[in-house]
Amino acid sequence: MAGIDLITFVIFVMLFISYFFERSFEAAHKELAKNKKIQQKYITALKEASITDPLTQLYNRRHLDMMFHEKFLKAKANNSYFAFFILDIDKFKDYNDTYGHIAGDTALKAVADVLKDSMRREADSVFRLGGEEFAGILMAESEEKIVRQIETIRTNIEKCAIEHSCSPFGLITVSIGVCILNDLEEENLDKMYKIADSALYEAKTHGRNQIRVGSISTL
């Protein structure tokens, strides 16, 4: 009988140890899964921060290269017109000098909000390049639709009616240079950037508060 009691005791102890280790393993697994989830959230937040402008919450210049490639391929697959534009706030240095940098930041956020509201389609992307310069990528079935959408951005910024005493318009306005392609054989952000930038310069020298289209052809 004593031998049987000893065997029973040993079995009980082994079951208890097994149960203890099983529970400990489950707890450790749950803790590991929880920590992994927290780590993933942290990594995602860091990734978002690395591609986002902190003031306007738009994508930053760093993220433009990757998005350009992705959008170009999509436009090519859909046989769409493909456009890249650069938008610059008119006389923004004068605005900062007159109203202060806090007001300048508020104006930048207002322009960014218009861009967000006007570029909601999956096919659209908008970026802050730095300072008072923004950029956008969009695609559509025709040149007219692209120009119309960009013109809506320009007029909606003007409708914000942000006072700017140094501007001939009395309000904050923007100039926009656009490059539009209808033959998507060559993917080249640098060339499109230069064409859009040249068109932006033309808009500035011809009175500001307007859009100029630099190209509607192959690169």
Give alpha helix (H) positions in 100-142: 101-118
Phi and psi, residue 74, nearest 5°? -65, -45
Q: What kind and span of H or E run contains 4?
A: helix 2-51
Point out the residues that are catalytic.
Answer: 132
What sign for the dihedral angle of Cα 104, 109, 115, 117? negative
Instruction: Give the largest Cα separation in the chain, rounded.
Output: 108
Residue 85 exposed, middle or buried by CB count within 10 Å (0-12, 13-18, 19+)? buried
Which residue from 108, 206, 99, 111 is spatially nearest to 163, judged by alpha carbons?
99
Cα–Cα dist 71/83, whole Å: 10
